[in-house]
């Protein structure tokens, strides 16, 4: 159960912003006057989207975030963040007259990371119960980054097909750029924004007021720095420095980020086990249920067993029960740490009541040896 006012305000606000952003981006694309180029840009830009999203959904398996919020994050990145960044950069070019290099290395990272990170910040204020820590921050940042990269790639790939600055353009030019942006560096924007997501995730799980303020600010600064470093490498030696920067900076940094994300995912599993064990001690669920809820293979076995023995009704009951129990587990963890949202009692009672209503329909595997 969520605060109705906060949920409605968040949904209406994000929806309105996306509508405006979508209109702005439609005007930008139509202004090119080249529908063939746009079509090619859309097709090429869409190719890496599915695999990248799949990686973030894999990370999100312990406590899957609401699909509606993940879609809003994608839409925010594609429409709101891109249109806001374009407007701010155009304003800078008109009012301040920054050089192309300054735009690329300073203005673009500042505006784009602020526009992308704003979505996670809005979640913090309006849907705080959905942010349980660092991994959630990484997942939402990734979705926003994927949406942003998709729309930005459409613009760049379309322009490459049209040709500019003495370049002939055509499909070969578009494909060459796609290899750089869609094959070599599809995680660039999600990677940059992940720093902001980590900062906000740390703030959510910290009891220190100072950390709650400093962590998001530091995360944003690191996102801007990583983005600026990458853009700067593209300007060195007419772009020749990009390969060295990619191999010496981006690849190691990305590997560290991946290791950190996997560690955070495993940490969430341990936290969930501890919190649900404590929930069982308090009578919120049966102790024997805990092993079937805390390990992903065990959850799958439980669902298969319920579906095989009890049919679709039992399968749906098991899915919903697992979802409620996992939400309760992470909420209870925040309660134990002293970082639970203000209305945690209402949220927790709602989860327990829904679990109680589902319990008569549950069919659990009979032995722990069934887990593979």
Which pLDDT score, from 0 to 100, does residue 306 have? 95
Distance CA 238, CA 242 (A): 9
Which pLDDT score, from 0 to 100, does residue 238 have? 60
Which pLDDT score, from 0 to 100, does residue 26 have? 86
Could you list the beta-strand ranges (E) of 16-122.
none
Asked whether the predicted pLDDT for residue 227 surpasses 80, the reply is yes
Average pLDDT over residues 147-156: 94
Which pLDDT score, from 0 to 100, does residue 129 have? 80
**What is the CA 82 to chain-centroid distance, rounded?**
16
CB distance 189 to 197 below 8 Å:
no
For the chain, the structural domain boundaries read 4-239, 271-370
Asked whether the predicted pLDDT for residue 250 surpasses 80, the reply is no
Which of the four pLDDT bands, split at 50, 70 and 90, describes residue 85? very high
Query: Taking the CA atoms of the chain, what radius of gyration do you get in angstroms?
Result: 23
Mean pLDDT of all residues in the chain? 88
Asked whether the predicted pLDDT for residue 230 surpasses 80, the reply is yes
Which of the four pLDDT bands, split at 50, 70 and 90, describes residue 372? very low
* More confident position, 22 or 353: 353
Asked whether the predicted pLDDT for residue 210 surpasses 80, the reply is yes
Which pLDDT score, from 0 to 100, does residue 242 have? 66
Would you state the torsion angle of the CA atoms of residues 339, 344, 349, 352, taken in this order, to the nearest 10 degrees? -40
Q: Which of 150-159, 239-248, 339-348 has the lowest mean pLDDT?
A: 239-248
Which of the four pLDDT bands, split at 50, 70 and 90, describes residue 370? very low
Nearest Cα to 159, choosing from 138, 146, 177? 177
Q: Which of 168-172, 264-268, 282-286, 326-330 has the lowest mean pLDDT?
A: 168-172
Which of the four pLDDT bands, split at 50, 70 and 90, describes residue 63? confident
Average pLDDT over residues 46-74: 90
CA-CA distances (angstroms) from residue 177 to 79, 83, 158, 174, 302? Answer: 22, 22, 10, 5, 46
CA-CA distances (angstroms) from residue 318 to 89, 296, 313, 363? Answer: 50, 14, 9, 8
Which pLDDT score, from 0 to 100, does residue 82 have? 96
Asked whether the predicted pLDDT for residue 239 surpasses 60, the reply is no
3-state secondary structure of 99: coil
Which of the four pLDDT bands, split at 50, 70 and 90, describes residue 367? low
Average pLDDT over residues 290-306: 93
Which pLDDT score, from 0 to 100, does residue 2 have? 47
Average pLDDT over residues 59-83: 91
Alpha helices, DSSP H, located in 60-133:
67-75, 82-95, 100-102, 108-126
Distance CA 308, CA 304 (A): 6
Asked whether the predicted pLDDT for residue 38 surpasses 50, the reply is yes
Share of the chain above pLDDT 90, in %: 55
Which pLDDT score, from 0 to 100, does residue 371 have? 43
Nearest Cα to 258, choosing from 116, 135, 109, 369? 135
> Across the chain, which distance is largest between two alpha carbons, in Å?
72
Average pLDDT over residues 203-232: 92
CA-CA distances (angstroms) from residue 220 to 111, 139, 217, 259? Answer: 11, 16, 5, 20
Which pLDDT score, from 0 to 100, does residue 302 have? 95
Which pLDDT score, from 0 to 100, does residue 33 have? 67
Which pLDDT score, from 0 to 100, does residue 266 have? 86
């Amino acid at each position: 159960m969520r605060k109705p006012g906060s949920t409605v305000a968040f949904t209406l606000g994000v929806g309105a912003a996306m509508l405006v952003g979508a209109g702005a981006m439609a005007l930008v694309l139509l202004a090119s006057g080249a529908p063939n180029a746009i079509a090619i840009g859309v097709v090429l830009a869409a190719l890496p989207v599915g695999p990248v999203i799949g990686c973030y959904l894999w990370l999100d398996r312990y406590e899957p975030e609401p699909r509606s919020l993940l879609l809003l994050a994608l839409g925010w990145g594609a429409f709101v963040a891109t249109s806001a960044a374009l407007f701010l950069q155009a304003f800078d070019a008109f009012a301040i007259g920054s050089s192309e290099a300054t735009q690329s290395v300073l203005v673009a990272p500042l505006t784009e990371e602020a526009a992308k990170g704003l979505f996670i910040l809005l979640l913090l204020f309006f849907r705080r119960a959905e942010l349980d820590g660092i991994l959630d921050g990484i997942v939402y940042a990734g979705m926003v980054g994927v949406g942003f990269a998709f729309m930005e790639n459409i613009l760049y790939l379309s322009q490459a097909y049209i040709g500019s600055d003495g370049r002939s353009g055509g499909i070969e030019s578009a494909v060459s750029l796609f290899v750089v942006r869609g094959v070599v560096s599809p995680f660039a924007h999600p990677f940059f924004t992940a720093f902001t997501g980590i900062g906000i995730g740390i703030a959510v799980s910290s009891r220190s007021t100072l950390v709650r303020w400093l962590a998001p600010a530091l995360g944003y600064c690191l996102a801007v720095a990583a983005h600026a470093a990458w853009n700067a490498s593209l300007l060195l030696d007419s772009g020749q420095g990009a390969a060295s920067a990619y191999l010496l900076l981006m690849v190691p940094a990305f590997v560290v980020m991946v290791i950190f994300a996997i560690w955070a995912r495993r940490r969430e599993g341990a936290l969930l086990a501890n919190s649900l064990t404590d929930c069982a001690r308090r009578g919120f669920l049966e102790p024997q249920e805990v092993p079937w809820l805390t390990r992903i293979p065990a959850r799958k076995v439980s669902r298969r067993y319920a579906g095989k023995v009890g049919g679709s009704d039992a399968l749906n009951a098991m899915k919903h029960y697992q979802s409620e129990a996992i939400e309760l587990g992470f909420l209870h963890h925040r309660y134990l740490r002293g970082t639970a949202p203000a209305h945690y009692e209402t949220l927790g009672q709602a989860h327990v009541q829904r679990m109680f209503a589902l319990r008569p329909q549950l069919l659990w595997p009979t032995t722990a040896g069934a887990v593979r």
